[in-house]
Structure 1
């Protein structure tokens, strides 16, 4: 049992998910009864079948959020300096893989490189559109 799922915040989340699941059950039962009354319709029957699906989805989300929290706790945080020597609590292999992931993330540019220009011979419509975008970009630079 993961003790971090028993903190006050998580207990509140558990209660919220439990209340939502129970509410969908009550709503399904209410629509089922309503569908079988004199004024009931196929729409009520559809809702009676839909509410349990919402309840199942609520349970699915509950499990998914708990698993994501468990995985997030298992991943060691990198120290501010980003070096493996500064974190003696992390094993060597885990620190090395975390270091490589951080380095790969840092090398990725913030803005992707521009696409190669398209000639009028390749695609005239695309070339015209690119010229239009270049004009808009230039006008925006002059205005700003």
Structure 2
């Protein structure tokens, strides 16, 4: 790993991790006292178990980020990218065939088909 062991960024992250753990352990102690009191419930005991996990989470994230960075740095350099393949030839669009010899039974369907044919022709003109 490169760089100094004690950079300002690492010290700040470690400080936040320690502060988070101390704060969350204090909250766990408070919930334990609530659980032992006359008004305590099982929910308080659940919080006693939950708060230390919250406190350890920033330290876990710091450890995980360092591990991922180390894996990334030690990874083998990527092989050179292959030459790009030539662009495929696009076949000429099929001609739009309309049935003018047969009457349409549904004028709404015929109008929709004409609209689709116009959209297709417009799209073909824009791609050229």
The two structures have a TM-score, normalised by structure 2, of 0.52
Contact 2:14 2:59 in 1 (8 A): no
State the 1:2 CA deviation: 6.2
Q: Greater share of helix residues, 1 or 2?
A: 1
Query: In 2, are the aligned partners of 1:31 and 1:48 still within 8 Å (CA)?
Result: yes
The residue aligned with 2:15 is: 15
1:69 is aligned to 2:79? no
Name which one, 1 or 2, has greater alpha-carbon Rg: 2
* Structure 1 segments unaligned to the other structure (5+ residues): 76-93, 108-134
The one-character-per-residue Cα deviations of 1:36-94 (angstroms, maximum 9, x if unpaired) are 1122222111111111222343332221122223334445xxxxxxxxxxxxxxxxxx5
Taking structure 1 as the reference length, the TM-score comes to 0.47
Contact 1:20 1:55 in 2 (8 A): yes
> How far apart in 2 are the matches of 1:21 and 1:56?
6
Taking CA–CA contacts closer than 8 Å with sequence separation of 6 or more, which of the two structures ends up with the larger relative contact order?
A: 2
* Displacement over 6 Å in runs of 4+: none
Q: What is aligned with 2:58?
A: 58
| 1:76-128 Cα distance to aligned partner (Å, 9 max, x none) | xxxxxxxxxxxxxxxxxx5xx4234xx27x97xxxxxxxxxxxxxxxxxxxxx
Residue of structure 1 equivalent to 2:38: 38
